[in-house]
């Protein structure tokens, strides 16, 4: 026990009296260096923490986009769903266009029937013309007859006269109406034809556009399923660059350990070690620390440059997004095209329904007229037959020689002629009636179908449009994240580059201190033998120190994993530094 | 010779809540644009344009294009500039700023 106390007093006395004088301010500078290193590394770590957080979010968004590019998520399904929703109204409009040829034929047939009817009506009027002359003859003949027979002639001529008035009025009106109807059909046909031609072109273009976009999307999905997207590659590279930088942050432990060892050694020179050896050992330790700081600074700087470069690549890739052009990115892309298609389909259905309504309104008077004409022709035919029969009966009553029998016979001829014409007219009217009815039914069916399709599109569109907008907003949001990540990295790189420059200055100063210590050791003045002894002593001391120093760990797989765990790395480093510090004190 | 320039100035962001109002005003501005003329759309007051707003801009460019005229977009925010690049609007209209 006494011996131990003596040894301790001896050691303390010698250490107090025989310590070599270190360069002035060295301890303070080393403490500053430790603080500076900690600040720089902590600052870079904190920045990386923020970048890591954004990268995680970006990775999630990229996964969504990549899944969309590969057709594996709801986004792509949405695009197909919208395209499917457009199929039914598109098919309906196409069938309307196909039906239009039939409508066109029906309209032409109706127009021809109306023209034929017009001619028949004129023929009927012509057939009834002789009645005018007959009335004159009746009057001449009647003047030569007895009063009784004159009355009979008179009553027959009155009937013929009334019939003539009826025919004149009715047929003139019918001719006018038929002419109007014919004009209405022609106008409706012309309007419908020109509009349908335009619509046909629009529908054809839209169908082709959608079809091409869907084919392109399918092709793209197929291609993307086989190859990695640029965005994915750049995101991986970016994460890898961050991982490399995180690994570089291990330098903090080494530098700290080195500096603390130097600090500790400065005041604790072992008795058996010469001053010169100790000073050279200190100088050597300081030089190593300076070199490590310089290397660390360079490595971090190059790591930051790599991150900065990868962030730029990622940004360039995100803003280009060639692989997503047909999905969400381009103004001509799937989302925009489908949004415009939904709008134009609504417009086309509205237009188609309006066209049907216009045609229906144009045809309606013709349909009414055919019913009216049918009744009028029948009435005229019956009346003339009745008059002819009446005239014949009266002529028999009056007896031969009165001339009435001749007139009655002529009236009967006209009646027969008119009945034949009436029968033909009835057939023609029936044809027109059927054609117009079919046309009206087709137009009604189109109108009803158009209304149903329009209602269906209007019911589905808002939700589909909202989903498409949400999809594009999500993409634009991802773009913003990439952009802000890139800006953040650029800003951090500038700040960190300045910090790293400060570290280099610290390193320069440490090297100046090392030169001072070597000068104090004054090894050049030693004799060769003494110099050999000192060199050997220094070598042994250095060997001890090197064996006890903390070394860097390289872990490539860690840099490739997605979760960089920068927070955990920070914690580990802090713990490691503490344990190293206490261990080192024990060790040295 | 400089083409006749018509202009429209957006008073703020173009988003889903006000896109239809912007379109109504833009549509009436477009009515005055003739062949070879220029429509200058000032978006410098807009910091944000969402998908619905983007639709309005795309529709404006397409409608003006159909009239064989051109569109110039005056941009004030980097974010909007990015969207224009991202959606290739910069290939369909002249982009000025920021």
Minimum-distance CB partner of B87 among A331, A339, A469: A331
Q: A38-42, A137-141, A236-240, B8-12 — which one is most confidently predicted on average?
A: B8-12
Examine the pLDDT at A580 and tell me if it is beyond 60.
no
Query: Cα-atom radius of gyration of chain A, to the nearest Å?
Result: 54
Examine the pLDDT at A332 and tell me if it is beyond 80.
no
Cβ separation A476–B92 shorter than 8 A = no
Average pLDDT over residues B40-62: 92
How confident is the model at residue B37, as a pLDDT? 92
How confident is the model at residue A229, as a pLDDT? 62
Is there a contact between B49 and B57 (Cβ–Cβ < 8 Å)?
Answer: yes
How confident is the model at residue A188, as a pLDDT? 75
Report the range of poorest mean pLDDT among A359-368, A401-410, A425-434, A565-574: A565-574
How far is the C-alpha of A264 from the C-alpha of A289, rounded, in Å?
Answer: 14
> pLDDT tens digits for A71-85?
666 777 788 888 888
How confident is the model at residue B22, as a pLDDT? 95
How confident is the model at residue A577, as a pLDDT? 40
Query: Among positive and negative, which fits the CA dihedral A281, A282, A288, A292?
Result: positive
The 10 Å Cβ neighbour count of residue A234 is: 21
Examine the pLDDT at A357 and tell me if it is beyond 50.
yes
Minimum-distance CB partner of A480 among B54, B79, B85: B79
Q: Which residue has the tokens 């007859």?
A: A145
Examine the pLDDT at A558 and tell me if it is beyond 70.
no
Percent of chain A clearing pLDDT 90 (strictly above): 0
Minimum-distance CB partner of A472 among B51, B79, B92: B51
pLDDT top residue among A2 and A203 = A203
Q: A20-29, A126-135, B41-50 — which one is most confidently predicted on average?
A: B41-50
Quick one: DSSP state of residue A552?
Answer: -
Average pLDDT over residues B41-47: 93
The domain segmentation of chain A, as residue ranges, is 24-57+229-299+495-587
Query: Among positive and negative, which fits the CA dihedral A114, A116, A122, A127?
Result: negative
Minimum-distance CB partner of B88 among A331, A479, A483: A331
Q: What angle do CA A79, A83, A87 make, to 5 degrees?
A: 165
How far is the C-alpha of A538 from the C-alpha of A534, rounded, in Å?
Answer: 6
How confident is the model at residue A546, as a pLDDT? 66
How confident is the model at residue A186, as a pLDDT? 77
Q: Is A331 an interface residue toward B (CB < 8 Å)? A: yes
Cβ separation B79–A321 shorter than 8 A = no
Whether the bond between B56 and the residue before it is cis, its omega within 30 degrees of 0, is: no
Q: Which residues of A touch B79 (CB under 8 A)?
A: 480, 483
How confident is the model at residue B6, as a pLDDT? 92
Joined together, the tokens standing for residue A121 give 């009506």
Instruction: Name which of A335, A309, A344 is nearest A234 in CA terms.
Output: A309
Q: What is the DSSP string of A247-285?
A: HHTTHHHHHHHHHHHHHHHHT---TTS-HHHHHHHHHHH
How confident is the model at residue A27, as a pLDDT? 83
Joined together, the tokens standing for residue A160 give 């013929």
Average pLDDT over residues A236-256: 82
- B96 pLDDT band, cuts 50/70/90, is very high
Query: Among positive and negative, which fits the CA dihedral A174, A176, A178, A184?
Result: negative
How confident is the model at residue B31, as a pLDDT? 93
Mutate to test the interface with A, among B53, B87, B90 (most CBs of A within 10 A): B87
How far is the C-alpha of A175 from the C-alpha of A423, rounded, in Å?
Answer: 18
Cβ separation B89–A331 shorter than 8 A = yes
Q: Is A488 an interface residue toward B (CB < 8 Å)? A: no
- A156 pLDDT band, cuts 50/70/90, is confident
Helix axes A275-320, A26-69, angle to 10 degrees: 20
Is there a contact between B68 and B77 (Cβ–Cβ < 8 Å)?
Answer: no
Examine the pLDDT at A563 and tell me if it is beyond 60.
no
Average pLDDT over residues A139-151: 73
Which helix (H) or strand (E) segment holds residue B5: the answer is strand B5-9
**By three-state DSSP, how is residue B12 classified?**
coil
Q: What is the DSSP string of A411-440?
A: HHHHHHHHHHHHHHHHHHHHHHHHHHHHHH
pLDDT top residue among A240 and A227 = A240
Quick one: DSSP state of residue A80?
Answer: H
Q: How far is A235 from chain B (nearest CA, A)?
A: 18
How high is the mean pLDDT of chain A?
75
Cβ separation B78–A479 shorter than 8 A = no
Q: How far is B68 from chain A (nearest CA, A)?
A: 18
How confident is the model at residue A321, as a pLDDT? 59
Q: Is A479 an interface residue toward B (CB < 8 Å)? A: yes
> pLDDT tens digits for A401-451?
666 677 777 777 877 877 787 788 778 778 777 878 888 888 888 889 889
Mutate to test the interface with A, among B47, B50, B51, B98 (most CBs of A within 10 A): B51
Is there a contact between B13 and B49 (Cβ–Cβ < 8 Å)?
Answer: yes
Q: Which residues of A touch B89 (CB under 8 A)?
A: 331
How far is the C-alpha of B80 from the C-alpha of B46, rounded, in Å?
Answer: 8
How confident is the model at residue A583, as a pLDDT? 35
Examine the pLDDT at B68 and tell me if it is beyond 80.
yes
How far is the C-alpha of A499 from the C-alpha of B22, rounded, in Å?
Answer: 49
How high is the mean pLDDT of chain B?
91
Joined together, the tokens standing for residue A264 give 């500790």
Cβ separation B82–A473 shorter than 8 A = no
Is there a contact between A510 and A289 (Cβ–Cβ < 8 Å)?
Answer: yes
How confident is the model at residue A164, as a pLDDT? 73
Cβ separation B58–A480 shorter than 8 A = no
Q: Is A473 an interface residue toward B (CB < 8 Å)? A: yes
Query: What is the ipTM metric for this complex?
Result: 0.91
Structural domains of chain B ordered from first start: 5-96 (3.30.750.24)
First to last CA, chain A: 24
Percent of chain A clearing pLDDT 70 (strictly above): 80
How confident is the model at residue A565, as a pLDDT? 44
Q: Which residues of B touch A336 (CB under 8 A)?
A: 55, 58
Cβ separation B55–A321 shorter than 8 A = no
Is there a contact between A431 and A112 (Cβ–Cβ < 8 Å)?
Answer: no
Q: Is A326 an interface residue toward B (CB < 8 Å)? A: no
How confident is the model at residue A264, as a pLDDT? 82
């Amino acid at each position: 026990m006494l011996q131990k106390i003596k040894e301790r007093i001896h050691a303390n006395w010698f250490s107090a009296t025989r310590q070599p004088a270190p360069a002035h301010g060295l301890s303070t500078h080393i403490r500053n260096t430790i603080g500076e290193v900690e600040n720089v590394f902590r600052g870079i770590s904190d920045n990386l923490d923020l970048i890591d957080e954004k990268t995680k979010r970006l990775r999630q968004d990229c996964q969504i986009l990549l899944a969309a590019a590969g057709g594996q998520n709801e986004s792509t399904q949405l695009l197909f769903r919208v395209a499917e929703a457009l199929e039914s109204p598109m098919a309906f409009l196409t069938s309307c266009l196909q039906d239009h040829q039939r409508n066109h034929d029906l309209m032409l047939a109706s127009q021809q029937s109306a023209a034929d009817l017009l001619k028949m009506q004129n023929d009927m009027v012509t057939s009834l013309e002789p009645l005018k002359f007959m009335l004159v003859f009746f009057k001449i003949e009647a003047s030569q007859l007895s009063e009784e027979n004159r009355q009979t002639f008179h009553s027959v001529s009155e009937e013929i006269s009334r019939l003539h008035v009826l025919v004149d009025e009715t047929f003139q009106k019918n001719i006018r109406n038929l002419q109007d109807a014919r004009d209405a059909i022609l106008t409706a046909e012309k309007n419908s034809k020109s509009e349908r031609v335009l619509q046909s072109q629009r529908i054809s273009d839209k169908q082709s556009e959608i079809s091409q976009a869907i084919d392109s999307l399918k092709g793209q999905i197929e291609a993307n399923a086989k190859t990695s997207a640029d965005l994915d590659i750049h995101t991986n590279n970016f994460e890898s660059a961050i991982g490399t930088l995180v690994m570089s942050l291990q330098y903090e432990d080494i530098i700290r350990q080195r500096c603390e060892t130097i600090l500790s050694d400065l005041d604790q020179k072992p008795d058996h070690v010469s001053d010169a050896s100790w000073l050279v050992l200190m100088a050597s330790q300081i030089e190593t620390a300076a070199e490590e700081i310089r290397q660390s600074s360079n490595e971090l700087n190059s790591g930051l440059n790599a991150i900065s470069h990868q962030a730029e690549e990622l940004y360039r890739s995100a803003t280009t997004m060639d692989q997503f052009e047909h999905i969400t990115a381009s103004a001509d892309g799937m989302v925009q095209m489908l949004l415009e298609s939904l709008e134009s389909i609504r417009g086309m259905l509205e237009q188609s329904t309006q066209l049907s309504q216009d045609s229906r309104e144009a045809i309606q008077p013709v349909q009414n007229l055919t019913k009216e004409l049918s009744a009028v022709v029948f009435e005229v035919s019956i009346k003339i037959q009745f008059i002819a029969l009446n005239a014949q009966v009266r002529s028999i009553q009056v007896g031969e020689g009165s001339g009435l029998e001749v007139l009655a016979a002529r009236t009967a001829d006209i009646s027969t002629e008119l009945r034949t014409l009436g029968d033909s007219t009835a057939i023609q009217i029936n044809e027109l009636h059927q054609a117009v009815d079919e046309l009206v039914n087709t137009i009604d069916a189109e109108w009803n179908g158009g209304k149903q399709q329009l209602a269906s599109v209007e019911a589905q569109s808002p939700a589909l449009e909202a989903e498409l907008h949400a999809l594009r907003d999500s993409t634009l949001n991802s773009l913003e994240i990439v952009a802000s990540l890139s800006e953040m990295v650029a800003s951090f790189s500038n700040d960190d580059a300045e910090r790293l420059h400060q570290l280099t200055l610290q390193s320069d100063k440490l090297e100046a201190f090392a030169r001072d210590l070597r000068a104090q050791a004054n090894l050049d003045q030693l004799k060769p033998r003494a110099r050999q002894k000192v060199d050997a002593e220094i070598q042994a001391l250095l060997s001890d120190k090197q064996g006890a120093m903390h070394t860097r760990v390289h872990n490539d797989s860690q840099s490739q994993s997605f979760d960089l765990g920068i927070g955990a790395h920070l914690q580990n480093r802090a713990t490691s530094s503490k344990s190293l510090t206490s261990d080192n004190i024990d060790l040295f | 010779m400089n083409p006749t320039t018509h202009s429209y100035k957006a008073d703020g962001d173009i988003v889903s809540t006000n896109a239809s109002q912007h379109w109504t005003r833009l549509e009436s501005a477009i009515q005055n644009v003739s062949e070879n003329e220029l429509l200058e759309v000032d978006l410098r007051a807009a910091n944000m344009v969402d998908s619905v707003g983007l639709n309005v801009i795309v529709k404006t460019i397409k409608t003006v294009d159909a009239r064989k005229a051109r569109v110039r977009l005056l941009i004030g925010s980097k974010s909007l500039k990015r969207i224009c690049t991202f959606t290739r609007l910069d290939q369909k209209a002249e982009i000025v700023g920021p």
